[in-house]
Amino acid sequence: MTPFQRRRNPSINRMIQDMQIRNFAASTIDSYTWHVDKFCQHFGKTPEELGLEEIRQYQIYLVNEKRASWSTFNQAVCGLRFLYEVTLGKPWAIQHIPFGKRPKRLPVVLSDQEASRLIQCTENPKHRTVLLTCYAVGLRLAEATHLKVADVDGQRAQIRITSGKGNKERPTKRRPAVRCPPASPRLLDALREYWKLRRPNNYLFPGKTPDVPLSSATIQKACRLSAALAGIKNLVTPHTLRHSYATSMLEAGVDVLTISKLLGHSSFVTTMIYLHVRRQHFERSPSPIDWLPVRQCPQWTERMPESTTSHVADSQTQTDANTSPTVTPPSAVAETSPPSTETQQPPKAQRRSSGRRPRAKRNRRRE
């Protein structure tokens, strides 16, 4: 029995039926009904007895008192919108139940060495193989845990993902070694070694029983423990390996469209966030300090303190005395130089002309 089937509220049961008719994922149904159930428990009333003012008070409670993340806040909004718009048929649901603005953050990415230490510190073979698969193919955690034995095609080096987000199937074809990350050839060998050890029949990573996939919470706990053993201080989740896969592929030269198809994104705009965390993006950008001249300004000595200037002048004089040849005194130069045959005369003073002609020439012209 799934968690949402244990809820006894009649309105929530009808809400479950409405989402099942629309083929919602089981995780989505569980999330929406959980938030609606908490909303009813907060006021101790049924959804029919609650309205816009109670919804507003509950949203303020989530933000101020419970300190819920904006992702949790928006999930509650989605559940309440579906309840009042679809199940109860209230026309005011969409306009008066606002979403919260999520802060935009760059994903946390592991280096190759950190990812290797994380996988090596995972002692359980099943858990280690799940994390290795997430990193080698860029899978979501639910996609990795729901893999079946028949989904792995060793001859064609291909993995078929049937439990993708939104029930989308996406083929992930193994590329040649020159175009793939270094971990890709090791994945099939690791899967074969794991299959020889556990011999699964249906699910590749079964849970308590062979007909149930491995719980996502189990892998999340194992990932946190391995990150602590590996000495990784950042918050690491299995989804961090997916971010690291995309970033490594981008740094290896794979184009964004190909990575978008491998990750199963509906739009390549979602994949473009990894352009901001790749190392080449930052290493190629210069620093303005490299463009500044080093002591090339002609007035740099004038701006220095007097003590520093005198010290520089003394050191320069001492350097010139040590490096320059013997200097001939001026008297010796005067004695040895031949006398000049030309007598130097002072330059004649030029009379300033007023621009008028002499008087004789003027009289002559009149005649």
265 is known as an active-site residue: yes
140 is known as an active-site residue: yes
Residue of 165, 170, 198, 224 marked catalytic = 165
42 is known as an active-site residue: no
366 is known as an active-site residue: no
What are the DSSP calls for 273-290, one per residue? GGGGT-HHHHHTS--GGG
Nearest-5° Cα angle at 327, 324 to 329: 160
Task: Work out the number of other CB atoms within 10 angstroms of the CB of residue 34.
Answer: 17
Q: How far apart are CA 249 and CA 258, in angstroms?
A: 10
Residue of 117, 170, 239, 261 marked catalytic = 239
239 is known as an active-site residue: yes
Give residue 330's Cα distance to chain centre.
Answer: 74
Residue of 32, 58, 245, 274 marked catalytic = 274
Spatial CA neighbour of 224 closest among 76, 122, 153, 74 = 122
165 is known as an active-site residue: yes
Is 179:171 a contact under the CB 8 Å cutoff? Answer: no
Nearest-5° Cα angle at 170, 168 to 171: 160
Q: 158-161 and 170-173 as β-strands: parallel, antiparallel, unpaired?
A: antiparallel
Residue of 140, 146, 174, 243 marked catalytic = 140
Burial class (CB in 10 A: 0-12, 13-18, 19+), 32: buried
What are the DSSP calls for 2-14, one per residue? -GGGG---HHHHH
The catalytic site residues sit at 140, 165, 239, 242, 265, 274
